[in-house]
Amino acid sequence: MTTVRREAFGRMPPEEGGGEVEKFILLSDSVRVEILSFGCIITALETKDRDGQFSDVVLGFDTLEGYTRNHPFFGAVVGRVANRIANGRFTLDGKEYQLFLNNGPNSLHGGAKGFDKVLWSPQVLPNGVRFFRLSPDGEEGYPGDLKVWVTYTLSGRELAINYQAQTSKTTPISLTNHAYFNLAGQGSQDVYDHEISIEADSYLPVDDTKIPTGEVAAVQGTGFDLRQPVELGKHLQKFHLDGFDHNFCLHQGQDRRLVARVFHPPTGRTMEVHTTQPGIQFYTGNNLDGSLKGKGAATYPKHSAFCLETQNWPDAVNKPHFPNVLLHPGEEYNHTTWLVFNTA
C-alpha cells in the first residue's frame, strides 16, 4: 500500500510570478519520497538499511529558497534536453537554432531556465503524483509547443518515473531526473565505499568541455569497464580518475532492463536502476565543493554523491549516428526509469 499526502512547501518569489509550491509525500512500508511541484524535484528519499533504520539518501535543501537559488540540479527533472548540446546549437529542417550557453561554450540541461526551474501542475494518483506543463514554442530557443507529463509512482521498494511528451513541431527531447544519491545517507562525506556496476559495453569519450567526441569506445580494458562491481574510491585511484561524468551506452530496446546497481556494504543498502532509455550518465559529484549548505546544515564536498541519469546520449542532436533524439508531431515520447531499493 502506498499513501500520498500533499502539503504547502512555500511560495515562489514575486519576481518569479509567485505561485504556491506543494510537496507530495509518497510512503510505502519500505520507502518514503518527497517531491515538489517546482521542477518535479525529489527533495528526500528515505530507505531502510539492513537493520531496518531509515535514512534520507538524496542531497538537497530544507527550504524552497535553496532550490530557487543556484544549485547543481539537486533532485530535479531537467529538459527539454538533458546533458550538453555543443555550442548550444543545432539545425533542423535547414533552420539553425541557438540555445542559451550556461556551461562554458555549451548548453546544459535545458538552458538558463529549464524544466527544473518552473512550476508544474500536479495531479494526485492513488500511488503517486503526475505533473504537467506546456513548454511554449521558442522557450529557451527550442521549437514547438511541448506538452510534458512526469509521473512518479511508488510501489513497495520501487519508485517509477515516467516521462511523456507531445510536440507541435519537430524538437529534440531527452528528459531525466538529476537526483544525487549517497546510500550512507545524505551529508556523508564521500561515496568511495560504494560498489557500483553498469551494464554497458561501451561509453562516450568527451572533449575538455564534456562534449562527446563522436567515438563510441569499448569499455574493455579501461577504467570505464564497470560491468563487474567496483569499489568506487579504489577504482578511481587505480585508474587515476578524477571522477566520472560520462555517458554509458546501454543495450538498445524499448523494454525495461536492469542497467546499474549500487551497493553500500556498511549499511547493506542497494539501489538498482532499470530503464527504457538508451544511455545513462554516471556522475560522481566532481563539481561539488562543500560551499552549499544542504539539509540539516550538511555540506556536500566533492564526490559526496553519485548520479545515474538515464537519458539519450549527450549532443545526439548533432551526431546522426547517436540514438534518435527528435520528437515529431503526432508521435509520443515515452520513457520510464525504475529505482529499486533493497538491502543485502
Residues annotated catalytic, as ranges:
178, 309
Angle at 100 between CA 212 and CA 108, to 5 degrees: 40
- H helix runs in the chain, sequence order: 64-68, 232-238
Annotate 35-58 with three-state secondary structure. EECECCCEEEEEEECCCCCEEECE
- The answer to the question of whether 179 is labelled as a binding residue is yes
Bond into 50 cis (ω within 30): no
- Contact criterion met (CB below 8 Å) for 48 and 84: no
| Integer CA distances (angstroms), 149 to 133, 168, 308, in order | 7, 15, 21
- The answer to the question of whether 180 is labelled as a binding residue is yes
- Contact criterion met (CB below 8 Å) for 275 and 337: yes
- Contact criterion met (CB below 8 Å) for 309 and 247: no
- The answer to the question of whether 178 is labelled as a binding residue is yes
- Contact criterion met (CB below 8 Å) for 127 and 295: no
- What is the distance between the alpha carbons of residues 260 and 273, in angstroms, rounded to a whole number? 5
- What is the distance between the alpha carbons of residues 119 and 241, in angstroms, rounded to a whole number? 38
Bridge partner list, 338: 160, 274
- The answer to the question of whether 51 is labelled as a binding residue is no
Instruction: Mark the binding-site residues, compressed into ranges.
Output: 83-84, 178-180, 245
Instruction: Mark the binding-site residues for beta-D-galactose, compressed into ranges.
Output: 83-84, 178-180, 245
